[in-house]
Amino acid sequence: MNAKHKRTLYRILISSALFVAAYILEARLDLPGWQQFLLFMPAYLLIGWSVLKEAAVNISHGQVFDENFLMALATIGALCIGEYPEAVAVMLFYQVGELFQSYAVNRSRQSITQLMDIRPDFANIEQDGQLVQVDPETVAIGDIVIVKPGERVPLDGTVMEGTSSLNTAALTGESLPRNVQEGEQVLSGCVNLTGVLHVRADKLFGESTASRILDLVENASDKKARTENFITRFARYYTPFVVIGALLLAVIPPLVTGGNWSEWINRALIFLVISCPCALVISIPLSFFGGIGGASKKGVLVKGGNYLEALAEAQIVVFDKTGTLTEGSFSVVAVHPEQVDEKQLLEYAALAESFSNHPISLSLKKAYGQPIDNARITDASELSGRGVQALVDGKKVLEGNGKLMDENGIKWHECDQVGTISHVAVDGEYMGHIVIADTVKPNAAQTIRQLKQMGIERTVMLTGDSTEVGQAVAKQLGLDEAYCQLMPQDKVEHVEKLLGERTGKGKLAFVGDGINDAPVLARADIGIAMGALGSDAAIEAADIVLMDDKLSGIATAIQIAKKTLRIAKQNIVFALGIKAIFLIMGAFGIATMWEAVFADVGVSVIAILNAMRSMKHSQKSSVLP
Amino acid sequence: MKKTYKLKDLDCANCAAKMQNAIAKLDGVQDVNVNFMGQRMTIELVDARADEIMRQVVETVKRIEPDCVVVI
């Protein structure tokens, strides 16, 4: 609670006491009207003077439909028709409501801001043998920064000394710590957990990851969602509309029916007190802000409320294959031995390939997983475009494609699996083959299923890879469509074609690694870049950035987006609904003025609390949206 | 010239919207975005009269929400 809040609170308390005293006195004594007026005046002026003053100032500036003016008009109206306690009560409730609202909004804003705060406060630098804490902004490239356990890495850099594990949760949402050692890169914003690290700064503070992320998220609330803009525009018309309604209600019925003027004025005043659109104007941006904050906690950076809104309406999700759906690196996916066992076959292959640095050789050595005794291998040679040949334990091992087998007169056969097939022959005899392929990411199929459950109508894959490989991956993951053998410019064309196939409000999201698909990211309604941690180009190009390379982040992002939009819509319906009900009840003389104020304030506070839910994302609720 | 200013004690979202509308109408202001959640304002001005325009901006803010201060 800040000083302003405290001042208001004291005023409310004292004014309430004066009000209660006046109320009791009035009930005991049967006073004439003007004495009653005097009795309630101290409480009214104490609580209302700031409103009256602001109303006067605003009118002098030509701002008529301002909530201060409306409250002033409503309460003065009440005083004029002799409803003194009503006037004080309305002013009191209004002030209590404003206080509540302001306090709740401030608290909410602070907690969301804290959620996103990964700003490192200081950097430790060694000066004359002493450790000094300095502002990270003053650290120059090449300086050595010392990061102790429990501290945040202040700048992006390279570890020069020490080993430790880092908590990257603030950046990626990943709770598993990452181990780092000498020569490895560390990113600012990570928290050092175990050992002391000496880090050489590679980037200035302003260009380091933490600053860039903060910048991005802070700017996100500048880009407003359609719903937000709608509410702002709506608010501009709502107030004048209700005030004119009040005027008509006060004048027409008494003129037509010749009824009681003060009764109808009283009803009109109810219109005035609920004419402020505050609940809506505050809770909608707060919902989006909360959603963006909650997403950033999960390693999903959203560059604006508009993108969050678009993502909630996603209809088509287009994926790039390599690096997005698949790991983008080769590995052994199957071993089909003949005559020998799997291990033996892998051993022959790995040993024969041991001198090669070809990606296929590397994946074989990785699958073999044991140190290679170079003494067992002699006469190794690479046969370009075919494979390798070597003597392993004195046996002649041939390892490569079908062409190599044919040339050496070895009988071999095709494999039914898709990928690069590496055949192995020992001393002229066929021993089987090993299938090497780019592996799909572990949770890719599950994510595609989740997307389907969440109502994504089409999942599409675009790839430059061969039709055979592309179709196999698409089938394995359960994608609806796959377009293969595309050049980068073809991808843009395909996305444009798909954009034409959207229906209704449906949006198209493109998911890529952000490295060579910037034009496609820009063309899609929502460009999502994956595994962007440390990749400036991807962060620049995309609308939504997944900090790590886990596909499940997309499902998380869509869930958060849908939840945020749901909350925003709930708030609109709820706030407008309550206002409509009280407008009707007021017009028919069922509701009293202070009940209307109470309802109005209640709506604001409940809408703010509801908006705060968008910040929290639990995995439990993530199974179904 | 594009600049960002902090807005201290910007307490009401509706006022933020009003400020944005009022400032956008000032002569020499090319673009303005009052961000209630971020408590700041991004403004793009005609360079030549930047100081004068900023004075008007500060006045406008003050008029709409007297408690709110533009931190320059």
Over residues A323-343, the pLDDT tens digits come to 788 887 788 888 999 888 888
Q: What is the mean pLDDT of residues A360-383?
A: 84
pLDDT of residue A568: 93
HSE-up (13 A, CA, CB side) for residue B27 = 3
HSE-up (13 A, CA, CB side) for residue B63 = 17
pLDDT of residue A28: 83
CATH 3.30.465.10 holds for B2-71 = no
Q: Is the pLDDT of residue A624 over 50?
A: no
Q: Is the pLDDT of residue A620 over 60?
A: no
Cα–Cα separations (whole angstroms), residue A358 to A384, A404, A423, A607: 11, 17, 16, 60
Range list of β-strands (E), A458-549 = 458-462, 481-483, 507-512, 526-529, 544-546
Instruction: Please answer yes or no on whether B13 and A276 come within 8 Å at the CB atom.
Output: no
Judge whether A30 counts as a catalytic residue: no
- Residue A102 has its nearest CB partner, among B11, B18, B39, at B11
Of A402 and A384, the one with more pLDDT? A402
Mean pLDDT over the full length of chain B: 85
In order of their start, the domains of chain A are 328-439 (3.40.1110.10)
Instruction: Please answer yes or no on whether A285 and B67 come within 8 Å at the CB atom.
Output: no
Q: What is the mean pLDDT of residues A28-42?
A: 83
Instruction: Tell whether A62 lies on the interface with B, counting CB pairs under 8 A.
Output: no
pLDDT of residue A6: 87
pLDDT of residue A210: 83
By CA distance, what is A288's nearest residue in B?
Answer: B37
Instruction: Please answer yes or no on whether B39 and A109 come within 8 Å at the CB atom.
Output: yes
Distance CA(B45)–CA(B51), nearest Å, equals 10
Instruction: Tell whether A620 lies on the interface with B, counting CB pairs under 8 A.
Output: no
**Per-residue confidence at A103, pLDDT binned at 50, 70, 90?**
confident
Q: What's the 3-state SS for A572-597? A: HHHHHHHHHHHHHHHHCCCCCHHHHH
- Chain A residues whose CB is inside 8 A of the B9 CB are 2, 4
Q: Is the pLDDT of residue A619 over 60?
A: no
Instruction: Please answer yes or no on whether B14 and A67 come within 8 Å at the CB atom.
Output: yes
Instruction: Tell whether A218 lies on the interface with B, counting CB pairs under 8 A.
Output: yes
pLDDT of residue A618: 64
pLDDT of residue A65: 72
Domain extents in chain B: 2-71
How close are the terminal C-alpha atoms of chain A, in Å?
A: 36
Instruction: Tell whether A44 lies on the interface with B, counting CB pairs under 8 A.
Output: no
What is the percent of chain A where pLDDT is above 90?
22
Q: Is A441 left (phi over 0), alpha (psi -120 to 50) or beta?
A: beta
Q: What is the mean pLDDT of residues A517-543?
A: 80
**Per-residue confidence at A621, pLDDT binned at 50, 70, 90?**
very low
Which residue in A128, A143, A320, A536 is the catalytic one?
A320
Number of residue pairs across A and B with CB atoms under 8 Å? Answer: 47
| Low pLDDT (below 70) residues in chain B | none
Over residues A36-95, the pLDDT tens digits come to 888 889 999 999 998 898 888 878 877 777 778 888 888 898 888 888 888 898 888 888
Tell me if residue A80 falls in helix, strand or coil.
helix
pLDDT of residue A251: 87
- Residue A221 has its nearest CB partner, among B35, B64, B67, at B35
pLDDT of residue A2: 74
Look at the alpha carbons of A538, A543, A548, A550 in this order and tell me if their dihedral is positive or negative.
negative
Rg (CA), chain A: 35
Q: Is the pLDDT of residue A450 over 90?
A: yes
**Per-residue confidence at A533, pLDDT binned at 50, 70, 90?**
low
Over residues A209-261, the pLDDT tens digits come to 888 887 777 777 778 888 888 888 888 888 888 888 888 988 888 888 877 88
Instruction: Tell whether B56 lies on the interface with A, counting CB pairs under 8 A.
Output: no
Mean pLDDT over the full length of chain A: 85
pLDDT of residue A451: 94
Of A583 and A280, the one with more pLDDT? A583
Q: Is the pLDDT of residue A516 over 80?
A: no
Instruction: Please answer yes or no on whether B38 and A221 come within 8 Å at the CB atom.
Output: yes
Q: Is the pLDDT of residue A459 over 80?
A: yes
Pick the closest to residue A575 from A610, A609, A607 (CA basis): A607
